[in-house]
Structure 1
């Protein structure tokens, strides 16, 4: 199995060009948000491939690290919002994570909230398996995802503008990721395109 990793650092201007899309930015929980343009790394593992904002797992391998994703810089404290629109172009597999919020506190690194899609359109939280939306993520549909991490209080997930999941958020450091990431019980293939990705803080 080959292992690949590509890293890109962006400037605010470059990020703005990559994020252009035909949707209007519309943060949830409006009021007092400041736009962010953090640096990011783009990562590929196993059969993962990143082409612009299209993320592909080309194999059906149910073992090993299979992922194609973008990881934003770590933040500490405050309230941070992610917004993006995804469209699954094709999906032969199932249980693939599309959006993640990771812990990055010393001694406590790892997945905190992972939003994954099953074949058929169900979105669910990998941690605990709770359904976030029963059928939004069908092939060809455009789905808006917002996560709001109020560090030290709660992490909230919105699908198409509606609040769908709330979990406690401990104090510390976190970062946002999106793309296509094989869960421990999942496998590709999958192709998903993200658009209009925006981040804010307050």
Structure 2
């Protein structure tokens, strides 16, 4: 699983909160946290100032309250919590899997579970609504696919074909979460 982690595990950048105009970058690698800052000022004494850089190990970051406060102020508490989790070794491996492997995993899930997964991140929303996912769903779960339907699916879209031709009572029960309402992927 460690091979799924690239050199940079996480990176975010942005402008600090008002009134400063300073620019900040947070990079988390497999072994360290890098905090970079650029002073943005109209004052002549700051013109040409070099950016600041602070590198520390994950453990040092977890024990540096001042650095954690800076990350929280600039990027918010969610980013701080995510960074702390990464520094504790809690990597989001599922999010880093290649799409073809994720599609194979999705083939084993019920549609109601896929709908819930689609609501977790932008990447999963895009993947769970992709033509590749819906083609795989129709081919894998619908025995009555004819060549004419396949041609129609290629023209209209696999998702539309699934809900037009294969969303029968049996498939609705398969897709429902037990509460009686239809699964929504949007």
Between the two structures, name the one with larger relative contact order (CA 8 Å, sep ≥ 6): 1
- Which is helix-richer, 1 or 2? 2
Give TM-score scaled by structure 1 length. Answer: 0.19
- Which is strand-richer, 1 or 2? 1
Structure possessing the higher radius of gyration over alpha carbons: 2
